[in-house]
Structure 1
Amino acid sequence: MSTTAPWNDDHFIAGDLALDFANTVYRRTPDLGRDLLDSTDALAGWLDHAGLLSSVDLDDSTLDEARELRGLLWRILDEQKDGRALPTEALAGLFGVARHHLDGGVAVAADGSATPLTAKGACSALAIQGIRLALSPHARPVRTCDRCGWFFLDTSRGRRRRWCSMQTCGNQAKAARYRSTHP
């Protein structure tokens, strides 16, 4: 039985759709949390809330491909945020996912943005966005949350943002710090 999380705006806080997709687990650190892509319905709900596709039927192979894509993004983004060279096998895998459904599954605009036309094309569109993010790093650096490990673009003035969201992890961290100093 699926424990599908209802997707809401709190799941889309990263500032980039590829990062939001990479964040489809309850947490990444200190231990890997529950997978929020636990069913084809959960993936369809995420695609709908993200504005990529609505009312789409997915099969298990698309869910498997989406999870594989997420793993590739994790490997690339973890290296990129730490300033290390991108892992070539993960980057090649990302190109493979992007290429897989280009014939009729996704439309690519002149500016390089990708729009999925089919359920399978959604993974290609997300992979294209991931490639753009990896090869043309944003002026705002990719960071990970100190508490849950979710990725986000650091949009803070001093580029010192520590949490994915002040409403969740930021409040938890501040409450924990207060409790530790006020017994």
Structure 2
Amino acid sequence: MTFTWTPHRFSGGALALDVANTVILRGDADRSIDRFASSEQIESFCEAAGAMCAERGGMPTALRPPPVESEDVLIDLREATDRYFRTAIATGAEDNALLADLLSACATALRTAKADELAAATAHSVLHLIHGPDRSRMRICTNCGWLFLDRSKNRSRIWCDMAVCGNRRKASRHYKRKKETTE
């Protein structure tokens, strides 16, 4: 299956979150889609990330996909990133075991990947998120479940992308209200 990488696909606000969000409908095993299921999709993600990823500081201008034999390092890092941040956001607490797994995945990526490869750049992004000022701005989209950084002034954003998830939620509420009044 081929996907198009649009700006919405990079609405996480940080490369690590955009990589974690490459699993669509993560919580629904029957409908879940892994956008990194093929080497070609990882390569096209790298091309698109250079143009659309919100995180610019310290990120190489052009990202290279990992060699096929190293893709599992990227996937392990993606999964550890999602588990750690999703749990931390949902519970409001640190989980030392998940943090240790994430740091181990980062260490493996940094040890095995070249600096301009996606896995290394993702590891740098993770480390910045763990300790950086954006940590308290992480959220889970109430519509699609993606991880994102809330950069709104009053920190009240609940959707990863207003133009997509926000509109879907608002349209759904409008439809329900309209249906209730006609019954």
- Cα deviation, residue 28, structure 1: 3.0
Residues 57 and 78 (structure 1), Cα distance of their counterparts in 2 relative to 1, 3 Å cut: closer
- 1:36 matched to 2:35: yes
The 5 A counterparts of 1:61-140 are 61-82=69-90, 83-85=92-94, 87-100=95-108, 102=110, 105-106=113-114, 116-117=115-116, 119=117, 122-138=118-134
Distance 1:56 1:63 in 2: 8
- 1:142 matched to 2:141: no
- Cα deviation, residue 98, structure 1: 2.8
- Structure 1 residue runs without a partner (length 5+): 107-115
- 1:23 matched to 2:32: no
Q: Aligned partner of 2:26: which letter?
A: R
1:166 corresponding residue in structure 2:
162
- Cα deviation, residue 11, structure 1: 0.7
Distance 1:139 1:92 in 2: 17
Residues 46 and 151 (structure 1), Cα distance of their counterparts in 2 relative to 1, 3 Å cut: same
Q: Contact 1:4–1:37 at 8 Å: present in 2 too? A: no
- Structure 2 residue runs without a partner (length 5+): 51-59
Distance 1:89 1:67 in 2: 19
Q: Contact 1:69–1:94 at 8 Å: present in 2 too? A: yes
Distance 1:144 1:164 in 2: 8
Distance 2:172 2:9 in 1: 23
Residues 46 and 179 (structure 1), Cα distance of their counterparts in 2 relative to 1, 3 Å cut: same
Name the TM-score, length of structure 2 as normaliser.
0.79
Give percent identity, aligned residues only. Answer: 30
- Which structure shows the higher helix fraction? 2
Q: Aligned partner of 2:143: which letter?
A: R
Count of equivalent residues: 167
Q: SS in structure 1 opposite 2:16?
A: helix
- Cα deviation, residue 17, structure 1: 1.1
Say what the alpha-carbon RMSD is for the aligned residues: 2.4
Q: SS in structure 2 opposite 1:152?
A: strand
1:6 corresponding residue in structure 2:
4
- Cα deviation, residue 68, structure 1: 1.3
Per-residue CA deviations over 1:97-120 (Å, capped at 9, x if unaligned) read: 3333546844xxxxxxxxx23x4x
1:50 corresponding residue in structure 2:
49
Q: Aligned partner of 2:14: which letter?
A: D
Distance 2:28 2:113 in 1: 37
Distance 2:84 2:33 in 1: 21
